[in-house]
Structure 1
Amino acid sequence: MNQPCLVADIGGSNARFGLVEKSGGSVVHVRTLPVAAHAGLAEAVESYLAGLPGGADALPIKPVLGAVAVATAIAGDRVEFTNSPWSFSIEAVRTRLGLDKLLVLNDFEALALSLPRLRGDQLHAPDGLPTPKGTLAVIGPGTGLGVGGVIETAHGWVALPGEGGHATLAPADDYESELLALVRRDYAHVSAERLLSGIGLPVLHGAVARQAGHMVAPALTAEQIVEAGTTGSDALCVRTLEVFCALLGGFAGSVALTLGARGGVYIGGGIVPRLGELFFRSRFRERFEAKGRFRGYLEVVPTVLITDTLAALSGAALALEQIDL
């Protein structure tokens, strides 16, 4: 990749953009735009380029390659987002933007590819940062719940895209079984994303409230639940975040076992970094390891928090480097 590249990470709420000037280069001119403020991907890209210092015309060399990570599964030319009204044709966007090539990949495929390159200032690991090796997994509660992995091979790191956030969520005790039974009154399938995400936190909060005897749960957004829970100003929100961290730990342990991610499980997304020390005091790690006969297997698997919400941009650039241009 010896030509300038446009990179993007498109979630359900935010669209993050940047430029990479050459292979292995840093992502520069990073900017985040709200998805709701733009009709679609092409319009958001044009808005991003126009907002660069001096506008798109001021760039010494305009990007001719693009790599876009999207929060949905990729199958063919048509891209339909899971938690956003956006949809687009890859070829139509490429043509409109005047790109020679436009690579579209799953957002957690891109985030997984970023893992081996992440620096210490992009991560937080209370027990020390691991050396990337073998198989790594990443999960991320944001608007939805992403899951991905990356495997070290003789030819470099190879990503494993998937939709693990839509796997069925399993309870670990009677209390969690009661919560999931309450949620199943409204949803036939209770996936991990149904509770462990921005769209899921209000659902989880409602179930926690009903289980505690509240006939009508207060209608709060995910942002309000996180704010009230982290400050301790609302007992139901505090309890919701405690349950959230415990369920996330159990789910993360299952992902580690499924992928054989002995090199580490990384936690991304926009929610967990906002929980601060509450997350590290929670039952996340306890529940991560609580897998019966395989406790010993998981006890030595590191869990690391990704604090840099822009990490997937570098992973998108690496994906473009890996393909034969």
Structure 2
Amino acid sequence: MNQGYPRLLGDIGGTNARWAWQESAGADLEDISVQPCEANASLQDSASSYLLTHGRKQPRWACIGIAAAVTGDAVHMTNSSWRFSISEFKEALGLERCLVINDFTALALSLPALKPVDLRAVGGGVAMPGAAIALLGPGTGLGISGLVRGAGGGYTALSGEGGHATLAAMDAQQAQLLGILRQRFSHVSAERVLSGAGLVNLYQALCTLHGCATRDLQPADVTDCAIAASDEQCVQTVRYFTQFLGGIAGNLALTLGALGGVYIGGGIVPRLGAAFDEALFRQSFEDKGRYRQMLVDIPVWVITASTPALVGASCALDSVIET
């Protein structure tokens, strides 16, 4: 049965728009493409440009995973100027069905399909089959999601905006840094630290704390200097970033009871490579007092696959067919 094909699949972040084409059920994704969001004025322009570039005439169904809260027809991206109406987008592209979901919901739906080659293990024990799974990922913003088993045995992806939850300090030094950030932002969310812009915020706060001159750095500059160990403040920035990430990941694992494991997506951690201190991450992840042993046993993986959310977008359309 070829219901809902061909499909246009999108993964839209604050920086890049990723697109793919799926011709039929079970077929590999084709014409995977990455466009800077700033290259197009709107989602519709980006999709139309993709279809024109690859000579694709008419998708029947589409699923877009987008870095925004999707609560109705009007979608406003958090870290991009793009705004659109789902119904108008559907009509403009002549689609029979158009599903728009949070980008980390799409990524969560891809997790059961990931292979060992798509992952890098970061300690812990063995995942419990059928248990809840946690997902978080620092990139342009901080995405958070998870998977829980439904009554029918399949997984349901959680959709939320946990990246905007208040960030808490785990020790006195972190409290000092958050105090400095609180002078700039009325609310210091996890995303204010655990994101590309968050790396710069954290770097600037450390320079203020240590009385150092602040250089005008972009997120990639911070990570590059940390990897090269050429700037001590950048090295410390990545260390604190890792600590905060471990703490938030541990909180999420406790909240969901994620004995099925924790997955880290987004572009920052894979980019860090060996500069990502796995032992430091695990220390913060497991530092949960009376529930430390529970966290010690939970496995963590970094997602290294390049476009898993596009697979998740197709899975989301499959679930529409099943229901």
Query: Structure 1-normalised TM-score?
Result: 0.94
C-alpha distance 79-218 of structure 1, shift in aligned 2 (>3 A):
same
Query: How far apart, in 2, do the equivalents of 1:50 and 1:19 lie?
Result: 12
1:32 aligns with 2:34: yes
Kept in 2: contact 1:69–1:105 (CA 8 A) = yes
Aligned pairs for 1:5-24 (under 5 A) are: 5-24=7-26
**CA distance in structure 2 between the aligned counterparts of 1:27 and 1:133, rounded to whole angstroms:** 27
Counterpart of 2:117 in structure 1 is 121
1:1-325 correspondence to structure 2 within 5 Å: 2=3, 3-52=5-54, 55-57=55-57, 62-127=58-123, 130=127, 133-153=130-150, 154-214=152-212, 216-324=213-321
The SS at the match of 1:9 is strand
Q: Which runs of 5+ in 2 are unaligned?
A: none
Q: CA separation in 2, counterparts of 1:69 and 1:286?
A: 33
Segment drifting more, 245-254 vs 20-29 = 20-29
Is the alpha carbon distance of 1:278 and 1:133 closer, same or farther for their aligned partners in structure 2, counting shifts above 3 Å? farther
How big is the shift at 1:79?
Answer: 0.4
**Contact 1:264/1:301 (CA < 8 Å) preserved in 2?**
yes
The secondary structure found in structure 2 opposite 1:285 is helix
Shift of the alpha carbon at 1:75?
1.2
Q: Contact 1:270/1:309 (CA < 8 Å) preserved in 2?
A: no
CA contact (8 A) 2:122 2:302 kept: no
1:199 aligns to what SS in structure 2? helix
Q: Is the 8 A contact 1:268 1:306 kept in 2?
A: yes
SS in 2 for 1:6: strand
Aligned equivalents of 1:233 and 1:28: distance in 2?
A: 41
Q: Is the 8 A contact 2:122 2:299 kept in 1?
A: no
1:129 to 1:296, Cα distance in 2 relative to 1, 3 A: closer
Please give the alpha-carbon distance, in whole angstroms, between the structure 2 residues aligned to 1:129 and 1:44: 41
Checking the alignment, whether the CA contact within 8 Å between 1:141 and 1:269 is kept in structure 2 is: yes
Deviation (angstroms), 1:22:
2.5
Secondary structure of the residue aligned to 2:136 is strand
CA distance in 1, matches of 2:198, 2:60: 38
DSSP 3-state at the match of 1:184 = helix
Amino acid at match of 1:209: C
User: Which residue identity lines up with residue 98 of structure 2 in the other structure?
Assistant: L
Secondary structure at the residue paired with 2:285?
helix
- Give the RMSD, CA atoms, in angstroms: 1.6
Aligned residues: 318
Deviation of 1:122 (Å): 1.2
State the AA in 1 paired with 2:116.
G
1:268 and 1:309 in contact (8 A); partners too: no
Checking the alignment, whether the CA contact within 8 Å between 1:246 and 1:282 is kept in structure 2 is no
Shift of 1:199: 1.6
- Structure 1: runs of 5 or more not aligned: none
